[in-house]
């Protein structure tokens, strides 16, 4: 069920539980600012989710409240995951859903990193 991206951060969301080690995940990369792990229902041969360690609901919330260090660390982590996965060539796609119209389901900011095949048009027309 899509979320309302203006809601307060919910500490019980599934990605918060992964961050606390309460639920398993296939870690791809981690540092002080970010955790990256494989999506449980991959939509491409490579489908990694990159999340900030801090409690942010969405890109909107993160861009408004996160420190410059958190933002820089997170953005660098997304780029590193793509490089480490060998995606720079041939290319890849980033996606961050925000709120109901986007279909965002997990209320903790996550950037999807898709790659490993030609990804087709950006959106269905």
Residue 40 is a binding residue for ligand 5GP (CB under 6 A): yes
Segment lying near ligand 5GP (by CB under 6 A), choices 4-12, 34-42, 62-70, 73-81: 34-42
Give the residue with the Cβ less far from ligand 5GP, 40 or 88.
Answer: 40
Residue count of the chain: 125
Restricting to residues 42-71, name those near ligand 5GP by CB under 6 A.
49
In this structure, what token pair is assigned to residue 23?
């639920």
Reference 44, options 105, 100, 95, 99; nearest CA is 95
Neighbours of 82 (CB within 10 A): 22
Partners of 30 in the β-ladder: 35
Residue 75 is a binding residue for ligand 5GP (CB under 6 A): no
Q: Are 72 and 31 in contact (CB under 8 A)?
A: no
Q: Note if 47 is an active site residue.
A: no
Residue 74 is a binding residue for ligand 5GP (CB under 6 A): no
Give me the half-sphere count of Cα atoms (radius 13 Å) on the Cβ side of residue 87: 24
Give the residue with the Cβ less far from ligand 5GP, 7 or 67.
Answer: 7
Binding site for ligand 5GP (CB under 6 A): 14, 25, 37-41, 49, 97, 103-106
List active site positions: 110
């Amino acid at each position: 069920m899509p979320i309302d991206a203006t809601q307060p951060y919910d500490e019980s969301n599934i990605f918060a539980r992964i961050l606390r080690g309460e639920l398993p995940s296939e870690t791809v990369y981690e540092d002080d600012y970010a955790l990256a792990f494989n999506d449980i229902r991959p939509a491409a041969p490579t489908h990694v989710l990159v999340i900030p360690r801090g409690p942010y609901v969405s890109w909107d919330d993160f861009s408004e409240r996160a420190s410059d260090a958190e933002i820089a660390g997170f953005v660098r982590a997304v780029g590193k995951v793509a490089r480490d996965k060998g995606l720079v060539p041939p290319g890849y796609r980033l996606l961050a859903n925000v709120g109901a119209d986007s279909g965002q389901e997990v209320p903790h900011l996550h950037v999807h990193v898709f790659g490993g095949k030609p990804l087709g048009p950006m959106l269905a027309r």
